[in-house]
Structure 1
Amino acid sequence: MARLMVLGLLKLKPMSGYEIQQILLKSHSDEWAGILPGSIYHALKKMEKEKLVEIDSIEQTGNRSKAIYKITEQGEVAFHDLLIESFQVSSVHLPSNLYTGLSFIEHLEKEQIVHSLKIQLVLLEQQLHQQKLGIKEKRKYMPLDPVTEMLFENVFQQYELQLQLIKNLIAHYEGL
């Protein structure tokens, strides 16, 4: 996923690794895309060796210098292939940790279950809030096309669906 994201962003314009990292962090794309911010530099170096990206320029700021990368023709081909591939793999990822835990929930006391589910509820609410801040941040930098708007709406709905399950589980176990 990091390769597709980096190549896609470099198709927009040449950028430094730091700039790519900041775009992902500010828009919270790093969360839904499953990309660790630190992996950007590793991905860039690896793709540079594979000739998918190359250094466009070196910018000097005081004693520091930063490489500005651009996508190559080979990178364009790789981007296209990765993009096609992204539509051909399952897009549903079930919350396997939660589902596995629920399979053995009878081994916990009711209070432990409710407490743990409330922690999950707070975590999901915080993540949803961050995602909503992310779309606001992204709108500051660029107008969002209808597909991106749909993508964010789907992310919000996924969180809402999961939140409802957790709330129902809490109500169920508090009612026992």
Structure 2
Amino acid sequence: MSSTRLLVLGVLHEGPRHGYEINQLVTAGSLEQWTDVKAGSVYHALAKLESEGLAETHAEERTGDRLRRIYGITPEGRHALRDLLRKALSAPPHSTTSGFALALRWHTLLDPGEARELVEASSLALESRRAEIAAGRRAKEGLPPLADVLFDNAEAHLAADAKLLADIRRLLAR
């Protein structure tokens, strides 16, 4: 929830918005590919932030049969946003924890052919992800240098993962 909270509070810091508008930002920016923010989590986050006094309803507008609430950030929300920024910027950008490492420990419980097939499927998924990153980078050309270093980092992590999977496939083939 902290990434979603960070996103919602950050967007509200820029100006009042309704949930649909924030969801559109998540979708348009393909944020589910880059963060653990899911479009469906925005409404829940808004309700929770409002109940905690970090966001408030500024207005309501009717569009057809729907009533949209326009939210704004509160002073407490600005303080919480700064705390979330401090926490996020002081943590490593990528985690080294993974269920994959644990699964390798007990891969022998699976049929050897199945373990190889699963690692091969992981390799194919990784190559698909690498293609998505490359396409995302091309689509977002002209972004500030901070975006370029994030793309560089993602590509380096994926290249390292590709090498790891190639090494594992080689070892499982023995």
- CA deviation after TM superposition for structure 1 residue 78, in Å: 1.1
Q: Please name the residue that 1:149 is paired with.
A: 148
How do residues 163-174 of structure 1 correspond to structure 2 at under 5 angstroms? Answer: 163-174=162-173
Q: Please name the residue that 2:49 is paired with.
A: 47
CA contact (8 A) 1:4 1:79 kept: yes
Worse-matched range after superposition: 1-10 or 87-96: 87-96
Aligned residue type for 1:112:
E
How do residues 94-133 of structure 1 correspond to structure 2 at under 5 angstroms? Answer: 94-133=96-135
Mapped to 2, the partners of 1:107 and 1:59 lie a distance apart of: 58
Q: CA RMSD in A?
A: 2.4
- CA deviation after TM superposition for structure 1 residue 41, in Å: 0.8
Mapped to 2, the partners of 1:90 and 1:117 lie a distance apart of: 26
Change over 3 Å in CA distance of 1:162–1:119 after alignment to 2: same
- CA deviation after TM superposition for structure 1 residue 104, in Å: 1.8
Mapped to 1, the partners of 2:24 and 2:155 lie a distance apart of: 22
Mapped to 1, the partners of 2:131 and 2:59 lie a distance apart of: 37
CA contact (8 A) 1:28 1:131 kept: no
Mapped to 2, the partners of 1:102 and 1:93 lie a distance apart of: 18
Mapped to 2, the partners of 1:97 and 1:167 lie a distance apart of: 18
Mapped to 2, the partners of 1:56 and 1:136 lie a distance apart of: 38
CA contact (8 A) 2:56 2:72 kept: yes
Q: Please name the residue that 2:24 is paired with.
A: 22
Q: Please name the residue that 1:70 is paired with.
A: 72
Gaps of 5+ in 2: none
Instruction: Identify which of structures 1 and 2 has the higher relative contact order when contacts are C-alpha pairs closer than 8 Å and 6+ apart.
Output: 1
CA contact (8 A) 1:29 1:134 kept: no
Question: Which digits, 9 at most, give the CA deviation of each residue in 1:39-69, with x for residues without a partner?
Answer: 2111101111222112233233222222222
Mapped to 2, the partners of 1:114 and 1:72 lie a distance apart of: 53
Q: Please name the residue that 2:62 is paired with.
A: 60
SS at match of 1:118: helix
After the TM superposition, which parts of structure 1 deviate over 6 Å for at least 4 consecutive aligned residues? none
Given the two structures, how large is their TM-score scaled by the length of structure 1? 0.82
CA contact (8 A) 1:55 1:69 kept: yes
